[in-house]
Amino acid sequence: MQHFQFYSAKSLNDALRFLAENGDQTRVLAGGTDLIPELREEISRPGMVLNILEIEGLNGVREANQGLRIGCTTTHAQLVESDILRRSCPSLVQAAGSIGGPLIRNRGTIGGNIAHASPAADLASTLLSLDAEAVIMSQKGTREVALSDFFLGPGKTVLKADELLTEIAIPLPRGKGVFLKLGRRQAMTLSVVNVAVCLEMEGRKCREAKVALGSVAPTPIRCPGAERMLLSREMDEELIGKCAQEAMAVSKPVDDQRAKAWYRVQAGTVLVRRALARATGLGEV
Amino acid sequence: MKKRGIGVGSMFYGLGYGFSRQDIASATIEICEDGSVIVRSGEVDFGQGSDTILCQITSEELGIPYNSIQMLTADTLTTPNAGPTSASRVTYVTGMAMLKAARAMKKTLHSAAAQILGQMDLVFGNDKVYSLSHPEKIISFKDLAKAAHLRGLPMVETAWHDITTKDVDPQTAQGDAYSAYAYATQLAEVEVDTETGEVQVLRVVTATDAGKAINPMNVEGQIEGGVAMGLGYALTEEIALEGGYLKTPSLGDYLIPTSLDVPPIETHIVEVPVSTGPYGAKGVGEPASIPTAPAIMNAIAAALGVRVAELPATPENLLRLIQEKEREEKNLPPK
């Protein structure tokens, strides 16, 4: 591991000042489950590491403005245990609970998971399906970016060097969310493909549909074509099957050690179909 | 759709090195003046429990409590060579060396006790030595050890056990390659998701011939660990190379089963004693992991009607086989 300066920010203003001065040579430590291995293997060689875990006010889930705000240092374990989320965003709880194992969930955070911009990040696709926004702060001010505009590629986001992702904002979901993940084993595994949907039903018709995929493109993606199709007519197995195929049509999976692209498309289609069936109340199909 | 199947895997396995390869172990036992016992052997216990077994053998032979024995193992400065921890040979070969050393020591102690008690029909038990016909003729192991030391009797014994076999006939390849064989059978029940190729092992039932289970809980532990290893071999563990480079260099890529992947395991210990092992015991370490993958593959075949020819049986490989079979059944040309 290469030497670097380590700085623990005392407050949000302190962190933003540090980033304004040193942002272009700094990596932010928000848990370290991705960062520390990258430092060890020298995949990343920053001159400085900024620890934001000691900043008060960046941790926890709270209700605000008809929605939820999740602080960037909130751990996956905290998401799993949050009563507010269990009530209003069960798919996010499901996704958080599928990450790594207990040790990773106690250490890793939602901010790190999103800012690291892994195409396979389990929280990312789920937050996309919940229309979440990234709250981004710098000394110049605050901006809110829809998560669908936040990711640019593997490890790349719209975050500028002097900016910090401070919170995730979620509008209160009106529909039913479902998260499904296919990994190579039952725990401590990255997604081969993951699927998050959120559907608001009115009888057998869908009023609002959000479908998101992970690990099948350079970034987690939404599937607008499939979403439009879901609104077109009364829900049945045939429509769900077609929507699942339409959803995967926008994917651009790659071959890697976890799985080949063709497998990701096929398994992804199955997962979307199953997630939609559960969210619409059609049960297991 | 989810399909279930049950499969059986059976194996036999030669214990020790066999085929005329040298297979020797030794162990030393020393009785201290205070009645405590020191055992030395070069055998390495890397978690499989051989220190426990060697200690139990000493305790059994001398009729003394387990906790009065001090084990010194795997120290090249002080312990005699016992050969490697491999070939499922430690209980079987080194255990026998331990038994021989303990019995040689018992003989010396017996002669001292016979002089002191004036009886020959002596029993070693409960940390004491006493006459079977006259139970009132009794001496504590501690007092006996002290008396033997005062008489200047040799209180150190080292024993060797050589189980090296003859080679098989070079022309016909016939003969007794190994001095003993282990046998084990396992059953696995799996559930396969026919649309994703995911396999869940629901349970594994094992039956292992341990000869004699010197420590049944230890045998059970070895078998459960072996099943977990066999399960990884069957479904996830893969050394993938590309252009000579390892694609699975870390435990994040080389996937061993987690506790959530290992199903309930039922173990049945079968005891058919073998004359060449201590109390009839055989090795169980490797036999525990050998039948697991065949049992799982047979269970997958029973569930799907397809045969996996390549391990690990990843969801991707299985899905391809499932779809090839579907095309065959519909008389479609292969993709």
- Residues B12-69: pLDDT tens digits? 999 999 999 999 999 999 999 999 999 999 999 999 999 999 999 999 999 999 999 9
Find the helix or strand (DSSP H, E) in which A105 lies: helix A102-107
What three-state secondary structure class fits A126?
helix
What would the pLDDT profile of A246-274 be if each residue is shown by its tens digit?
999 999 999 988 899 999 999 999 999 99
- The answer to whether residues A156 and A199 belong to one domain is no
Active site residue B286: yes
Residue A227: give its domain's CATH number: 3.30.390.50
Q: Which of A136, A171, A206 is the last residue of a domain?
A: A171
B314 in contact with A, Cβ within 8 Å = yes
Q: How close, in Å, is residue A186 to chain B by CA atoms?
A: 6
- The answer to whether residues A122 and A74 belong to one domain is yes
- The answer to whether residues B240 and B187 belong to one domain is yes
B237 in contact with A, Cβ within 8 Å = no
B221 in contact with A, Cβ within 8 Å = no
Per the structure, the count of domains in chain B is: 2
- The answer to whether residues B128 and B184 belong to one domain is no
Over chain A, what is the mean pLDDT? 96
In chain A, residues with a C-beta closer than 8 Å to the C-beta of B252 are 188, 190
Q: Which of A171, A198, A217 is the last residue of a domain?
A: A171
- The answer to whether residues B190 and B238 belong to one domain is yes
B173 in contact with A, Cβ within 8 Å = no
- The answer to whether residues A73 and A162 belong to one domain is yes
Per the structure, the count of domains in chain A is: 3
C-beta of residue A15 within 8 angstroms of C-beta of residue A137:
no
- The answer to whether residues A272 and A205 belong to one domain is yes
Residues 6+ apart with CB under 8 A from B100: B27, B159, B160, B161
Q: Specify the DSSP class assigned to residue B77.
A: T
B257 in contact with A, Cβ within 8 Å = yes
- Four-CA torsion A244, A248, A249, A250, nearest 10 degrees: 130
Q: Is residue A59 part of a domain?
A: no
CB contact under 8 A, B257 and A185: yes
CB contact under 8 A, B196 and A182: yes
Mutate to test the interface with B, among A34, A257, A260 (most CBs of B within 10 A): A257
In chain B, residues with a C-beta closer than 8 Å to the C-beta of A101 are 258
The runs of H, that is alpha helices, within A132-260 are 147-150, 224-230, 237-249
Structure ipTM over 0.95, yes or no: no
Q: Specify the DSSP class assigned to residue B243.
A: T
pLDDT in the model for residue B332 = 85
CB contact under 8 A, B316 and A187: no
pLDDT in the model for residue A65 = 81
What three-state secondary structure class fits A77?
helix
First-last CA distance in chain B? 22
Q: How close, in Å, is residue A140 to chain B by CA atoms?
A: 40
- The answer to whether residues B216 and B158 belong to one domain is no
CB contact under 8 A, A184 and B247: no
- The answer to whether residues B156 and B283 belong to one domain is no
Rounded-to-integer distance, Cα B204 and Cα B298, Å: 13
pLDDT in the model for residue A285 = 67
Residue B37: give its domain's CATH number: 3.30.365.10
**Per-residue tokens: B286:** 């490797």
CB contact under 8 A, A257 and B240: yes
Coarse DSSP helix, strand, coil percentages of chain A, rounded to the nearest 5 percent: 35, 30, 35
CB contact under 8 A, B261 and A187: yes
Rounded-to-integer distance, Cα B51 and Cα B85, Å: 12
A191-202 and A156-157 strand pairing: unpaired
CB contact under 8 A, A187 and B198: no
pLDDT in the model for residue A282 = 81
Q: How close, in Å, is residue B315 to chain A by CA atoms?
A: 8
pLDDT average per 10 residues of sequence, chain A (285 residues): 95 98 98 96 96 97 93 98 96 97 97 97 98 98 98 98 98 94 95 97 94 97 97 93 96 92 97 96 76
pLDDT in the model for residue A257 = 85
pLDDT in the model for residue B288 = 94
Mutate to test the interface with A, among B233, B255, B320, B324 (most CBs of A within 10 A): B255
Mutate to test the interface with B, among A263, A265, A274 (most CBs of B within 10 A): A263
Residue A21: give its domain's CATH number: 3.30.43.10
| Residue numbers in chain B where pLDDT is lower than 70 | none
CB contact under 8 A, A187 and B257: no
B241 in contact with A, Cβ within 8 Å = no
Q: Which of B237, B238, B286, B328 is catalytic?
A: B286
Rounded-to-integer distance, Cα B179 and Cα A105, Å: 51
- The answer to whether residues B29 and B111 belong to one domain is yes
Q: Is residue B99 part of a domain?
A: yes
In chain A, residues with a C-beta closer than 8 Å to the C-beta of B260 are 185-187
Q: Specify the DSSP class assigned to residue B153.
A: -
Q: Which structural domain, as residue segments, surrounds residue B6? A: 2-14+178-329
Q: Which structural domain, as residue segments, surrounds residue A257? A: 189-280
